[in-house]
Chain A
Amino acid sequence: MKRYKLIEHTADIGLIAYGNTLAEAFGNAAFGMFSIIAELDNVVENQNRCIELKSSDQESLLFEWLNRLLYYFDVDLLLFRSFKVNILPGNRLTAICYGEKYDRLRHKLKTGVKSATYHKLKVDGIKNEVQVIFDV
């Protein structure tokens, strides 16, 4: 199954992510976002971060989820490549994210992502599909 597809947007870039469950689609959106930021092939999983979020609705939950991951990239220079995501009732999310600290010598960075945006943000809980445009 295809994990995500990039969407072109003149100044920015976006993606649609798929999954068998909505949680998987959230994980694939995160994977897609880090694939925009870096080549992930060389990234090993020797670090992890646990994330817990509660939001007002599913779209905001997606926005906050992706932006929390960007926070870890800025502060700890972590490149994540695998995500165990649970979506719980009440627009809550828990996740364990695995990846590695950016290493100039081994990793190739591509495009900086400043933030997820609310523009055209979509969460489809029936098709288990999410869409997001990033500010890059």
Chain B
Amino acid sequence: MAKWIGPLEKIDAYRWRIPKGYKSGMRVDGLIYADKEMLKHILLEQTLEQVANVAQLPGIIGNSLAMPDIHWGYGFPIGGVAAMDIKEGVISPGGVGFDINCGVRIMRTNLTKDDVLPAIKDLVDVLYKNVPSGLGSKGKIRLRLGEIDKVLTNGSRWAVENGYGFIEDLESTEERGEMFGADPSLVSSRAKERGIPQLGTLGSGNHFLEIALIDEIFEPDTANTMGINEIGQVMLLVHCGSRGLGHQIADDYIKVMLAAMKKYRISVPDRQLACSPIESPEGRNYLSAMKCAANYAWANRQCITHWVREAFCRVMKIKPIDAGLELIYDVTHNIAKIEEHSIADKKNKLCIHRKGATRAFPAGHPDIPSKYLKIGQPVLIPGDMGRYSYVLVGTEQAMKETFGSTCHGAGRMQSRAAAKRQLRGRDVLESLAARGITVRTDSLSGLAEEAPQAYKDVASVVNVAHGAGISRIVARTKPIGVIKG
């Protein structure tokens, strides 16, 4: 792999700039959030070339942004944020990704380490049985004819109305789990056929379900507002997306965009950046179909939440009310959204692409749940399955610099093939067990690919986000049980 040798200017300990003079087509600078150590890794690949490519898209505003977990993707970098002017700008399915609304949610409980450790094997087994996971798994929801359209339109609300979870869960979900303007008639029958059998499944790859303990609290008052009260408190994390339905919608619309680019005379440096003006029929239709996939993903996580609660209460022999299994928050990290942002004291409607990046709105923002108005929006940053994950909150600084965005995870350091060459699934399983982490998976080779060693230390990622002020660290969790898709 060729090292990237383009120009990079240091702004401060956490910020680096690719000047827009680097390439003639660049409309804005690239701005990378990283420390010196992380940068060494970033420069080993062509990731920053992708940041410069995104800077060439029509209507891009501010900077082509790279969050601290940035790594080489296809088209857009993973960890990329791009804001487009709604009048002049474009929308790109590649800037959202194939797994539309891949995201993560965290639930709190009233239980502590001492309650669950004796039952951890049972818990992991029952969760594994209760939540379909892994490649080739089918869900247990049988949708009636035409019902898929309701899932695509109403998202989490469909799930709650059908008995999966509580009405309070909606308040604790980004967009309340239901993006308005989703039009199922713009979703192909192939996409729906893929989505119908997979609703309520975790999927494979880096998707997971995790039982974790709070092991450090950095801001006790903020944590308390979220229901995070003490060290050793049990949390549950779910990470998954829109499954084959989202992949098919992305495929379908990249094709639409490639044709549209000829019509609108747009050229892009990488065809995976295929795009169309936001206000063109193609752009509007994609956004509307994308919202369907986003809603599907929220319904998916909501159904899984229900089965997690069911399994948890059964094994712990506890009533749901006593378990206190409340959703703290659910964030999406692959999405495009129309949002209002202030630039030079003027309010602008922009289309924000977050490809492997999380919204991080500050205290007082009207789009965050009222219970979090004083602390800011919770941001969930899962790490690898052996170390830890973080809960953060959004900040005013993120609003000023990154269109209210921050990182989304650890970011891979090693390719899947390299991880598999060095590690065997069974060894990964044993070394995790030695660290007190019980793992169940369908795929041992998948486990090797997802081994902790293949990822950056998520602590260094959140430290940059915190240091740069684009979010603040609130608490840290450590896994004790993992179901790997």
Q: Which residues of A are interface residues toward B (Cβ below 8 A)?
A: 6, 8-13, 37, 56, 59-60, 63-64, 67, 70-71, 74-75, 77, 102, 104, 109-112, 114-115, 117-121, 133, 135-136
Contact = CB atoms under 8 A, between A and B. Distances in A.
Contacts of A67: 247-248, 251
A50 to B, nearest CB: 16
A8 B197 contact: no
Q: Which of A70, A102, A111 has the most CB of B within 10 A?
A: A111
B247 A60 contact: no
B255 A59 contact: no
Q: Which of A60, A77, A117 has the most CB of B within 10 A?
A: A117
A109 B190 contact: no
Contacts of A63: 251, 254
Nearest to A59: B271
B382 interface: no
A104 B443 contact: no
Given A71-B194, A109-B442, A114-B99, A10 B414 contact: yes
A71 B194 CA distance: 7
B417 interface: yes
- Measured as residues with beta carbon below 8 angstroms from the partner, the interface class of chain B is 35 or more
9 contacts: A11-B71, A56-B259, A64-B255, A67-B247, A70-B247, A110-B446, A111-B449, A115-B247, A136-B205
B194 A74 contact: yes
A118 B94 CA distance: 9
B255 A10 contact: no
Nearest to B203: A112
Given A37-B135, A102-B136, A136-B416, A111 B258 contact: no
Contacts of B272: 117-119
Nearest to A55: B255
A70 B413 CA distance: 27
A115 B194 CA distance: 13
A133 B415 contact: no
Contacts of A115: 98, 247, 250-251
